[in-house]
Structures are given as structure tokens and as C-alpha cells.
Amino acid sequence: MRDFSCFREGAVSLAAAAADSVVVGGGAGAALDRSLQAATVTVYKVALSSRKELVVRVMWTRGVAATDTGLAVAVDEASRSFPSGGASDTPRRSVVLASSSPQLLHKKRGTRSFVTEAGTVVTIYWDTTDAKYPAGSSPEPTRDYYLAIVADVELALLLGGGEAARELARRFVAAPWRAFLSRHEQLRAPPSPTAALAHSTRCRFRDDGAEHEVAVVCRGEEWDSGDGEMAVSINGKKVVDARRVKWNFRGNRTVVLGDGAVVEVMWDVHDWWFAAAAGGGGGGAQFMVKARGEGDGGRVWMDEDMASKGQPPGGFFLHMQCYGR
């Protein structure tokens, strides 16, 4: 296990922006709307039978009121990166050619069609009328909803379930290949210096791997003494446990999970810790967990030189941002 505890200020943000620039377009995923109570962006890469590649972004948002939820979808063209073997081979990571404006789906149910700049005909079907949401501030529904994206008469993405979703799956042929690239979550952090910042989510770090629960916590007790704790757990087991956050507010650790996945865990709670301690309450904390990509080798994945040049890391990554009130 490797542990790196000293990064220059902004290293996490720089690495996150480089990764998000590939799957979100221009790093937009690294700067969500701080006026929101919570937001989640999931990003998928889809290959159609025509060998077109699409990057699909799905954003769920929640305002101050529990009923103030929102949904937006963006479909972007990506550079072709399939090897000659075809869609059954593992495609290389590719850059979005042109980032389009998200389609804001204001109604609870409906259908919307549009054509991308490259001529791909896209239709979005959705119904969140009876959607059920998890406890807490998560804006993403867990059941009783569906969201389907059809591109050139192929089912590019289907989320949720129910009879309507099954009917769409029967009507359209599924695209031959799809990958889950990233998940980006934003939520409000407690305003009090002594309050605990805690959040958990679930994700898969590889398509054939198990689902994992990732939980983060950061709590302060006595600021003058530098006590407190910052911890990251995967499947209930602590993989990071920094007892003196005053000196361990940034770091990185490599972890091997039970299903064989190798992940890099990175944290930067400097702004949340010191802004809260000073009574500002406006600082943010960032946590990132990324699956080791095949081409990463032994290099630390958030290498600042690579990030500053816009060179993204391979492999799925989870990015959680917690902002002060």
C-alpha cells in the first residue's frame, strides 16, 4: 500500500478537471452549481453499430426543498477510438469533440428529440412522476422511474425500470457497447466546525466487478489541538484513516479490493477544514476514488503534469465534492 500525503494546493481540482474534461466537456463536472442542495452527474460512453461514439451525461439535481428535483441530459459526439477488431474490443478513452448544451427536462414525464451537430438523431424518453428517492439529500431516484436515450434508432442508455422501460427495450435494439465512465456527486457540508461531514454512495469500478459502497467522513473536535478525523471506507472497511487532519488534509492511497480491482483513493479537505475552523463555513472537501487503468502503469494517477496538459486518467472514477453552506 502506498501513501502520499503532500500535494500542491489545487492538485485534486486539477486532476478532477482533467478527467471531467473528457467525459463532461471542458471540466464542467468539476464546478457544479453551489446553490443546489445536491447534484449527481453520471457519464456513460456508448458505441453504436455505425461505430459512432457518444458520451451521455445524466444530471440529477435537488434544491433546498425536498420536492425541488431536476433532470438534465446531454449527448455529445466523441472521437472514434475503436481498434480494427470492432466494438467487441475494449475501446480507448476518447475526447468529446463538441460539448452540447444539456436538455433540461422540466416535466415529470415526456419525450424529446433533437439532432446532434454530427447528425445523430437522439430521442429521450422519461417518467419520474412516481419516482422514489433515497433518504437524505441524494437527488437520484432509486425506483419507480425510467430514463431512456435512443440514438439513431438504437437504445443507447436505459435507467430505471417498470413496464414502460421494458417496452422501450423491446422496441429498440440495444447499442452494441456501453461503459460507465464516471460519477460526480455534489452535496452540502455541515456549517459547524465540530459537525461531521458524512456521505456514502455505491458504484462499480469495472463492468464485470461487484458493486461497492464508498463512504467518507470528516469531523473536527478541537481545532487548536489539531484533533479530528478524516476517513474513507470501502464496503465498511477503512482504507484511509487520518487522525490529525491538520497535517493530513491531502493525500493518496492505493487499495486492492476483494474482487481484484485496484483503486486509487485521493482526498483534499484543506478548504473545508481550515475555512470551517476560521468560522467561514464556505470551504469544500473533495474525495476521489479511481479504478487503475490498464495504461496507468506505476504512475500516480493524478500526476499534476499530466493533468495540467489535459491528459485524463483511464478507468472509472468517482468524484465527491462537499461544499459549506
How many of the other CB atoms lie within 10 Å of CB of 312?
23
β-strand partners of 178: 46
Range of the domain at 145: 3-323
**CA distances, 210 to each of 45, 199, 205, 297, 313 (Å):** 20, 20, 8, 23, 22
Q: Which residues contact 23 (CB under 8 A, 6 or more apart)?
A: 29, 43, 45, 55, 57, 96, 181, 182, 312
Confidence of residue 314 (pLDDT cuts 50, 70, 90): low
Q: What grid cell was written down for 175?
A: 447499442
- pTM, whole model, 2 decimals? 0.80
3-state helix, strand, coil in the chain (%, to 5): 10, 45, 45
For 131-159, write each residue's pLDDT tens digit: 998 876 689 999 999 999 999 999 999 99
Q: Which residue has the higher pLDDT, 276 or 259?
A: 259
Q: How many CA atoms, within 13 angstroms, populate the side-chain half-sphere of residue 194?
A: 3
Rounded to whole angstroms, how far apart are CA atoms 166 and 213? 28
Q: What grid cell was written down for 274?
A: 481550515
Query: For the chain, what is the domain count?
Result: 1
Q: Which residues contact 317 (CB under 8 A, 6 or more apart)?
A: 19, 181, 182, 183, 288, 289, 290, 291
Radius of gyration of the chain (CA): 20
For 235-275, write each residue's pLDDT tens digit: 999 999 888 777 888 888 888 888 778 888 988 888 877 76
